[in-house]
């Protein structure tokens, strides 16, 4: 059994973007969607600025003991009328670096986000995971998530 | 065949909240989650204020020719790093009044939201719909959405 890597979870900074994009691209679905040339396309930095300005969104990274970024996650806390006006949490872009998987890093990220959502009054945390990501679905089930919904998407 | 009802889609106001809550409650899943006594619990009004303050969220209603609220939808436009920094749209709380269904009102609401998301640079619009809502899934497929993802949730 591989040892658990204890990580520090902190807000992402502008100089983490390259590491985040590399993790998003290191994936069967993500590789077709991202561009990892240097310098990175400016659209990534513009998006980071939009994320930074939005007080309901936290983009965080997991950092190992050497200060290397080994995971990321975006948590949106969304107000809404339903469920008696309870906010809900939405998890997006949960990734762990390819050479650091199966060491509990994703679990630490998701559990951080669930705690943060609860602390902000959410009664629900939700996410969409592609039908083909069977391992991810098992991972989330182990953390208490149910396969309760169908996630539907339209791309332009 | 029932005639199409043409509706006006506009931002929700504070005095629409009772109609919105009534639509959320008029549903197999929603009835257990909402409280429709008068006066409404203050949590609904507090949530409306949080929604109003969030520039990335639009809570809209569909109004018929007599000014009656017959549908609602919440669109969140969420910045994020993935897909080269494209924002994505999230649809929540899509409802049509029980006595006005099958007249194209939901379709007008969803098509409005998809247009609005595209106009704001989104490359993707996503939503979660409960596994049991088979009619809703067919409805979204008819509008071009794919059952591409599993929607996972954890409730507190």
Looking at the predicted structure, is the pLDDT value of residue B1 above 90? no
What's the average model confidence in pLDDT over B95-105? 94
pLDDT for residue B4: 84
Indicate the residue of B79, B127, B128 with minimum beta-carbon distance to A54: B79
Structure-token match 């939808």, residue found: B73
Residues of chain A with C-beta less than 8 angstroms from the C-beta of B46: 85
Looking at the predicted structure, is the pLDDT value of residue A25 above 90? yes
Residue B71, strand partner residues:
B62, B96
Looking at the predicted structure, is the pLDDT value of residue A1 above 80? no
Pick the more confident residue, B63 or B31: B63
pLDDT for residue B35: 92
What's the average model confidence in pLDDT over A132-151? 97
B48 CB contacts (<8 Å, ≥6 apart)? Answer: A81, A85, B12, B14, B17, B59
> CB distance from B143 to chain A under 8 Å?
yes
Looking at the predicted structure, is the pLDDT value of residue B55 above 60? yes
Contact B150 A144 (CB under 8 A): no
What's the average model confidence in pLDDT over B95-104? 94
What's the average model confidence in pLDDT over B108-116? 98
pLDDT for residue A30: 83
B117 CB contacts (<8 Å, ≥6 apart)? Answer: B75, B77, B87, B88, B89, B125
B47 CB contacts (<8 Å, ≥6 apart)? Answer: A79, A80, A81, A85, A86, A87
Q: What ipTM is given for this predicted complex?
A: 0.94
pLDDT digits (tens, 9 = 90+) for B30-49: 888 899 888 999 999 999 99
DSSP A54: -
As a whole number of angstroms, the longest Cα–Cα distance in chain A is 47
Pick the residue from chain B with its C-alpha nearest to A156.
Answer: B123
What distance in Å separates residue B17's CA from the closest CA in chain A?
8
> CB distance from A98 to chain B under 8 Å?
no
pLDDT for residue A32: 84
pLDDT confidence bin for B2, thresholds 50/70/90? low
Contact A33 B130 (CB under 8 A): no
Average pLDDT in chain A: 95
Residues of chain B with C-beta less than 8 angstroms from the C-beta of A152: 126-129, 137, 140-141, 145-149
What's the average model confidence in pLDDT over A32-36? 89
> CB distance from A56 to chain B under 8 Å?
yes
pLDDT digits (tens, 9 = 90+) for A48-83: 999 999 999 999 999 999 999 999 999 999 999 999
The reported pTM is 0.95
- The DSSP result for A27-53, as a single string, is STTGGGT----SSPPHHHHHHHHHHHH
Whole-angstrom distance, CA of residue A55 vs CA of residue A77: 9
What's the average model confidence in pLDDT over B18-23? 96
């Amino acid at each position: 059994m591989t040892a658990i890597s204890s990580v520090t979870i902190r807000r992402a900074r502008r100089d983490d973007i390259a590491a985040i994009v590399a993790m998003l691209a290191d994936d069967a679905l993500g590789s077709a969607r991202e561009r990892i040339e240097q310098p990175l396309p400016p659209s990534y930095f513009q998006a980071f600025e939009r994320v930074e300005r939005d007080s309901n969104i936290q983009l965080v990274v997991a950092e190992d003991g050497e200060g290397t970024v080994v995971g990321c996650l975006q948590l949106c806390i969304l107000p809404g009328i339903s469920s008696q006006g309870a906010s809900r949490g939405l998890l997006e872009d949960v990734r762990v670096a390819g050479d650091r998987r199966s060491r509990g890093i994703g679990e630490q990220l998701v559990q951080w986000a669930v705690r943060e959502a609860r602390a902000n009054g959410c009664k629900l945390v939700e996410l969409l995971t592609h039908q083909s990501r069977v391992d991810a679905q098992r991972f989330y089930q182990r953390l208490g998530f149910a396969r309760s919904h169908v996630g539907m998407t339209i791309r332009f």
